[in-house]
């Protein structure tokens, strides 16, 4: 299997432009570069019916969030909703880096999307991001009526580190007992911070995400603490994955996270849940945000939206 030609062209262009690897930058530099690149690789943000900035009370202060309502809905329509957590290794990324994707998912699925700007490392280390993610999910559930959201039709989702947070939030929602979820959308999720799978060995260098970058992200997130095997850092290692909402797990063939995403889908199924795993074999990590350059990114977005629509109908 070969990397998709459009992905190959992107890698060549990054090399020609001398774009420095994330792990060689300070967190502040990495955040700025990640934000600046969106105009280069992401499609134009589609119009939606409404966007609204939210302030969510969190365990350590206010959590910023953004609500998207899809085209075609009327004011006051009670909509199902996806609570979304952006990727970026718990270090980079924000509401703006994933604004286009959230708009696409809202329109495609016909649901509201609440994008959550959780605290980032290294300023706020594990479990700060996980704490914020669950606090935001619980708040959306409690405030659903004021947000014109149907509290009985909620999903969680995210990409990469955001997929990690979504998986953890789904486990916490199950254990809370009073926060039912309909679906998990896990896009190349981080599920095992031990970083020892075969895909780390075969695809740990030469692509958009490598072993060095994952070490950088994990070091910032964990701060050297021996927390990599705690289930809130590595949900794959939770002793009980039963009674969880249906999941769609998307992976990329040329991604060091490929194997742990597949393993999570397998463990969900073995525990009695409904879990679908789809691997975009010719793609690399982060591709779903690159619809301006990579056609299969748009296919993946449509797939995610279709599965969300069906699960939340």
The active-site residue, picked from 132, 148, 150, 255, is: 255
pLDDT at 225 > cutoff 90: no
Out of 98, 115, 160, 259, which one is annotated catalytic? 160
Residue given tokens 């604004």 in the structure block: 99
Candidate from 36-40, 80-84, 88-92, 251-255 with smallest mean pLDDT:
36-40
In the residue annotation, 4 being an active-site residue is answered as no
Q: Is the pLDDT of residue 87 over 80?
A: yes
Q: For the chain, how many residues are written?
A: 313
Give residue 224's pLDDT. Answer: 75
Structure confidence at residue 226 as a pLDDT band (50, 70, 90): confident
Cis ω on the peptide bond leading into residue 122 (within 30° of 0)?
yes
- Annotated active-site residue 160? The verdict is yes
Question: Residues 6 or more apart from 39 whose CB is under 8 A from it?
Answer: none
- To the nearest 5 percent, what fractions of the chain are helix, strand and coil? 40, 20, 40
The percent of residues in the chain predicted with pLDDT above 70, rounded, is 100
Q: How confident is the model at residue 188 (pLDDT cuts 50, 70, 90)?
A: very high
Catalogue all structural domains in the chain, each as residue range(s) with its CATH number: 5-312 (3.40.50.1820)
Give the integer Cα–Cα distance in Å for 68 and 89: 24
CB distance 298 to 4 below 8 Å = no
- Average pLDDT on 16-36 reads 96
Q: Is the pLDDT at 265 greater than 90, yes or no? A: yes
pLDDT band at residue 243 under the 50/70/90 scheme: very high
């Amino acid at each position: 299997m070969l990397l998709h030609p459009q992905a190959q062209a992107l890698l060549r262009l990054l090399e020609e432009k001398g774009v420095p690897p994330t792990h060689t930058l300070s967190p502040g530099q990495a955040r700025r570069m990640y934000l600046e690149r969106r105009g280069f690789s992401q499609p134009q943000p589609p119009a939606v019916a409404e966007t609204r900035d939210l302030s969510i009370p969190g365990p350590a202060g206010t959590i910023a969030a953004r609500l998207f309502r899809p085209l075609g809905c009327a004011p006051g329509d009670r909509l199902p909703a996806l609570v979304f957590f952006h990727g970026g290794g718990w270090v980079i990324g924000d509401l703006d880096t994933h604004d286009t994707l959230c708009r696409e998912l809202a329109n495609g699925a016909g649901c509201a999307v609440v994008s959550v700007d959780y605290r980032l490392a290294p300023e706020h280390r594990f479990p700060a991001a996980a704490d914020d993610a669950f606090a935001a999910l619980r708040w959306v559930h409690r405030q659903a009526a004021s947000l014109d959201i149907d509290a009985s039709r909620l999903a969680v989702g995210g990409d990469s580190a955001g997929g990690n947070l979504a998986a953890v939030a789904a486990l916490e929602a199950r254990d809370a007992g009073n926060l039912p979820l309909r679906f998990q959308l896990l896009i190349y999720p981080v599920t095992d911070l031990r970083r020892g799978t075969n895909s780390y060995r075969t695809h740990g260098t030469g692509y958009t995400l490598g072993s060095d970058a994952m070490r950088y992200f994990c070091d910032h997130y964990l701060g050297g603490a021996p927390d990599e095997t705690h289930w809130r850092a590595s949900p794959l290692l939770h002793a009980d994955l039963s009674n969880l909402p249906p999941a769609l797990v998307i992976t990329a063939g040329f991604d060091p996270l490929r194997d742990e995403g597949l393993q999570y889908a397998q463990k969900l199924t073995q525990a009695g849940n409904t879990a679908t795993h789809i691997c975009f074999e010719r793609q690399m990590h982060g591709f779903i945000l690159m619809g301006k350059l990579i056609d299969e990114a748009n296919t993946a977005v449509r797939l995610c939206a279709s599965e969300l629509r069906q699960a939340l109908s």
